[in-house]
Amino acid sequence: MQVMQGGRPTLLGVRAPRVEDDRLLTGRGRYVADVVLPGMVEAAFVRSDLPHALVRGVDKTAALASPGVHAVFDGADLDLDAVPDRMPWVRAVQHFPLARDRVRYVGCPLAVVVADDRYLAEDAAELVDADLQPLSTVDTVDDALAPDAEMLYPGWGDNLLLSVEPDDPEVDAAFERLRTVSGTFTTNRHSAVPLEGRGVVAEFRDDRLTVWTSTQAAYVVRAMLATVLGMRERDIRVITPDVGGGFGQKNEIYPEEYLVPWLAMRLRRPVRWIEDQHEHLIAATHARDTSIDLSAAVREDGTIAALRGRVRTDLGSGEIFPAGYGPSLVAVGSLCGPYRIPHQAIAVQGVVTNKTPTGGYRGFGAPEGTFAIERLVDKIGRELDIDPLELRRRMILAPQDLPYETAAGARLVSGTHREAFERAVELGERMLAEERDAAEPGTHLGVGYATYVEGVASTTFSITGTWSSQDSADIRFDSDGGVTVAVGISAMGQGTHTMVATLVAESLSIPIEQVRVVMGDTDTAPFGLGSWASRGTLVAGGAIERASEVLRCKGTDIAAHLLEASPDDLELTEGRFQVRGSPGSAVSWTQVAQSALNRTFELPPGVEPGLEARAVYEPPGLDHVPRPDGKMNAAASYTNATHTAVVHVDAGTGVVEVVRYAVVHDCGRVINPLTVAGQIHGGVAQGIGGTLYEQLPYEDGQPLATTFAEYLLPSAREIPEMLVEEWGGPAPETPFGAKGAGEAGIIGPPAAIAGAIENALAPLGVTGIDTTPLTPPVVRRLIEEARS
C-alpha cells in the first residue's frame, strides 16, 4: 500500500499493518523460554534474604546431594573477572556475578544450582545454607548521607557513587537580584515489569559460546561477556530471539547473563535460566526513585531567568552495568523543557543504599525532570497570581526561536513546541467541558498539562565509558530481486521489523513484501548498539539511507548499460529503472540483480559483480563528554509534545480516574502512524501506572512488594481512550526527516495527571502536589491537610 507524495508514490506515512504481527499473534514467536536444546539442564539462584551482610560461607553439601543436581557454585568458586567499571567519573563498584564478601540488597545472587529441571533446581536451592553476618542497613538516601552511615563500599568514605557540583556565576547573579520560588519533587521507586521476564540460555560447542538472552543490545552483551569470561568476542555469539518488552530494563547486563554462559562452559552442556515474577521484582533493576530540589529565579512577569537545584537518586546497591545514574543526567537535561530559560546549575548525587540496583526505564529521567519543572511552573503561577497557561506562553519556544540551545546544551533544530502546546490546551478545555456537562453536580473534575522535549538517539558513552552512538545496516539483493537487510538495532515489540522494511522498500522503490529483515544476532547482523533512547528509526534509518544510495548508484549504472542509455537519463520508480519520458524503456531491479549476481558478463566495464552494501551511521553534532562550559548536546535530535489529562477524583476515597487523555506530538516525519500511536498509547499507560499505582516500598531494607499481589499495575479498565495527534513535518536534521517516538508517551503523565488532580481539588484548597505515586491514601491525606 502506497500513497502519493510530491507526485510520486511513497510508503512513508501509510497506516500499514506491522509485518511482524501475524507471526507473533498466531503463537509463532520464539522467546528465550522457547529455546530447548539436547541435554539442556536448568539453573536456579540462591538469593540473599538480608539487605546488608558479610558472607562468611556457603554450605552446599545438602544441595549437592539432592536428586537431579549436577552442580552448585557460590562466589568463591567462580574464576571470573569483576564486571568492569569503565566510567572514570564515578566510583568503582567491582561487582561479581555471585556475591563474594558482602551482599548489599535482598535478591543479590549468592549461589546457583544446576539440575535436570527447574523444579529440582529450586528444591535444591532451598537446601543451600548461606552464613551471613548482618550489617546495619542503609534504607534511604538520608540514611546513606548521614555522618554516621554504614558504608556500602568502605573504601569510598561515603555512599556517593556519583557527585557533580556545578558552578555558574550567571545563575548566582540571577538568584541574588530576583525573587525565588522553590520546591522538592519526588518520583518514587517502581519497575518496568515487561510481560516477558529475563531469561538466558547458553551452549558451548566446538570451542564457541552461543548465548540466547532477552536483551536490547546483543553486541554490548557480547563485549561484556568477553571481558568478564576472558574470551575473544569472535568466539561468542549472542542471539536475541523475540523479546516480550524491554523498556530499558533489558538494556542492563545482569549477573545471570555472565553466569549461565560460564555454567555452560564449565559443565559442557546447555544451561537455561528463566526468571520468575518474584525474582523479577527483587532482582531486575528498579527505576526512578529520584528527588529533585529545584529553585527558579523569577522575573516580575513570572518568566524564569535561571534554575538552581539538585537531582538526588537512590541507586540501590549500584551493582549493575551500565550504572543507574544515567537517568539523573537526563533529568538535568530535561529541566528547561521547551522554555526559554537561559541559565541553570543543577547538582547531581547518585547515592547507594541497600536496595535493588536502579537502572534504565522508559523515559530514562525525562519523566522526573518534566514533573519537576512543570510542577514548579504551576507553583510560580500560583505564587505570582499568573495563569499558569499564560506563564507557559511567555516562555515556550516559538518557530522563530529555532534553532535554540537550552541551558543544558541541547540543540533544538526543529519542533512545534508552541503549536503543540496551544493545540493540547484547546483539546484539554474541550474535553473538560464535555466531562463537566455529563457529570453530576459537585463532581471533582480537573485538567492538567505537561509539555516537554525529549532527546532521541543519545550517546551512551557517558554511562558506559566505551560506546558512542553509531549503528549499521547491510542490504543485499538476491537474484530474484528480493532484498535482505540486516541491522544492528533490535526488536522488543516496538515494530522495528516494520520500520526497517518500510525504509528499505521506500529507499529502493520496491514492495515491502520483497524485504526480509534480520537483527538480534551477532553472527548475522552488523555491529550495532541496539535499541534504547528512541534511537532505532534515526540511526538505522541513517545507515539504511547510506547503503541504499550505494545500491541505487550501482543499480543505475547497470541498468543504463543494459538500456544503452546514460545513467543521468534514468529514474527509479516502482522497482524499475526507466528512461525519463519513456516508460517502455525500462529494466527492473530483478533484471539488474540477475546481471550483478548471475549474468555478470552483462555488467558495464569496471563494475564488480554483486549487489550489496554496508553502511554505518553516526549522528553528527553529538557531545559524548561535557564541553568545557559543562553543557552537553547528548542527543541527535529532540522530539516535543504536550500531554493533556482530564481526571475525576473521589474526594471521599481518594481514588483518581483518568477519564480523558490527549497527546499532541511531533517526532518529525511519521514512518507508520499506527506504530507511533501504539508506542504513545503504551507509554501513556505505563505513565499512568507510575503516577497512580506502581511503587516498590522498602522497610529496613526489605522489599514490601515482591509479587503482583502487592505491586499494583493498571488494567485496561484504568487506561482511557486516547487522542493522539501528530504535528510537524520532516525534520531537517535527521535521515528521512524522522526522529523517535519510543519514550514520548511515558514522559508527560506524571506532571499532567498531578496538575489535573490539583485542578480538580482546587475548591478544597489542595495545592502543591509534588510526589508520585498519587495513591488513594496520598490523595486523601492531601485533602485532609487542605481542610485542616
Please check whether residue 362 is in contact with residue 247, taking contact to mean a CB–CB distance below 8 angstroms: yes
Tell me how far apart the alpha carbons of residues 266 and 60 are, in angstroms, rounded to a whole number: 18
Asked if pLDDT for residue 88 goes beyond 90, the answer is no
Per the structure, how many domains does the chain have? 3
Q: Report the b/e string of 516-555 with b at 16+ CB within 10 A.
A: bbbbbbbeebbebbbbbbbbbbbbbbbbbbbbbeebbebb
Handedness of CA 393, 394, 397, 398 (dihedral sign): positive
Here the cell at position 568 is: 543521468
Cβ proximity of 661 and 725 under 8 Å: no
Contact 244, 34 (CB under 8 A): no
Domain-ending residue, one of 560, 585, 617: 617
Shared domain check, 638 and 594 = no
- How far apart CA 570 and CA 555 sit, in angstroms, is 10
- Asked if residue 658 and residue 567 are part of one domain, the reply reads no
Q: Kindly state whether residues 556 and 675 are assigned to the same domain.
A: no
Choose the final residue of a domain: 224, 254, 283. 283
Cell of 29: 514467536
Domain end, chosen from 617, 649, 682, is at 617
Does 692 score more than 90 pLDDT? yes
Instruction: List pLDDT tens digits, range 567-611.
Output: 999 999 999 999 998 888 999 999 999 999 999 999 999 999 999
Whether residue 6 has pLDDT greater than 70:
no
Which tens digits make up the pLDDT trace of 642-680? Answer: 999 999 999 999 999 999 999 999 999 999 999 999 999
Question: What's residue 5's pLDDT?
Answer: 59
Say what the pLDDT of residue 290 is: 98
Instruction: Determine, yes or no, domain membership for 156.
Output: no
- The rounded distance, in Å, linking the Cα atoms of 773 and 785 is 18
Q: Answer yes or no: is 587 within a domain.
A: yes
Output the pLDDT for position 788: 86
Mark whether 197 and 48 lie in a shared domain: yes
Do 630 and 715 sit in the same domain of this protein? yes
CA torsion sign for 381, 387, 392, 398 is negative
205 touches 62 (CB < 8 A): no
- Report yes or no on 90 lying in a domain: yes
Checking DSSP bridges between strand 411-412 and strand 444-458, what pairing results, if any? unpaired
Is residue 74 within 8 A of residue 17, CB to CB? The reply is no
Cβ within 8 Å of residue 553, ≥6 positions away? none
Judgement on whether residues 551 and 682 belong to the same structural domain of the protein? no
Which amino acid makes up residue 127? Answer: L
Tens of pLDDT, residue by residue over 470-527, are: 999 999 999 999 999 999 999 999 999 999 999 999 999 999 999 999 999 999 999 9
Q: How far apart (Å, rounded) are the C-alpha atoms in residues 779 and 773? A: 10
Residue 1 confidence (pLDDT) above 90: no
Q: Are residues 309 and 265 in the same domain?
A: no
Residues 656 and 711 in one domain: yes
| Beta strands per DSSP E along 650-768 | 656-666, 698-699, 702-703, 722-726
* 491 and 513 share one domain: yes
Percent of the chain at pLDDT > 70 equals 99
Report the pLDDT averaged over residues 703-726.
96
- What is the per-residue pLDDT across 131-166, written as a single tens digit (0 to 9) for each? 999 999 999 999 999 999 999 999 999 999 999 999
Q: Provide the residue range defining the domain that includes 480.
A: 470-617
701, three cell numbers: 531494607
Residue-level pLDDT at 581: 87
Asked whether residue 296 carries a pLDDT value surpassing 70, the answer given is yes
> Which CATH number do you get for residue 545?
3.30.365.10
4 pLDDT higher than 60: no
Alpha helices in 200-291 (DSSP H): 218-229, 255-267, 277-283
What ranges make up the beta strands (E) of 624-674? 635-649, 656-666
**Average pLDDT of the chain, as a whole number:** 96
Instruction: Give the full edge-to-edge strand order of the sheet including 179-187.
Output: 160-164, 343-351, 304-314, 290-298, 179-187, 771-772
Specify if 395 maps to a domain: yes
**Domain annotation covers residue 352:** yes
Say if CB 354 and CB 701 are below 8 A apart.
yes
What is the rounded distance in angstroms from the CA atom of residue 38 to the CA atom of residue 53? 40
Residue 175 lies in a domain: no
Alpha helices (runs of H) in 290-365, residue ranges in sequence order: 326-334
Name the grid cell of 766. 489542595
Q: Which is nearest to 315 in space by CA: 257, 271, 252, 270?
A: 252
Residue 66 and residue 215 in one domain: yes
The residue-averaged pLDDT of 432-461 equals 97
CA distances from 148 to 91, 142, 158, 295 (A): 20, 11, 10, 29
Residue 153 lies in a domain: no
Q: How far apart are CA 782 and CA 776, in angstroms?
A: 10
106, 49 in Cβ contact below 8 A? yes
| Euclidean distance between CA atoms 646 and 560, whole angstroms | 60
The verdict on residue 329 lying in a domain is: yes
Residue type, 124: A
Same domain? 214 vs 118: yes
CA 607/CA 365 separation, integer angstroms: 51
Alpha carbon separation from 401 to 454, 525, 631 (Å, rounded) = 18, 41, 19
> Which residues, 6 or more positions from 22, have their beta carbon under 8 angstroms from its beta carbon?
none
Instruction: Determine contact, residues 418/398, Cβ cutoff 8 Å.
Output: yes
CATH number for the domain harbouring residue 130: 3.90.1170.50
The answer to whether the beta carbons of residues 662 and 643 sit under 8 Å apart is: yes
**Cα 96 to Cα 374: distance, rounded to the nearest angstrom:** 41
Together in a domain, 584 and 644: no
Q: Which residues 6+ apart lie within 8 Å of 207 measured at CB?
A: 235
pLDDT, position 771:
98
pLDDT for position 271: 98
pLDDT at 709 over 80: yes
- pLDDT tens for 92-125 read 999 999 999 999 999 999 999 999 999 999 999 9
Is it the case that residue 66 has pLDDT exceeding 80?
Answer: yes
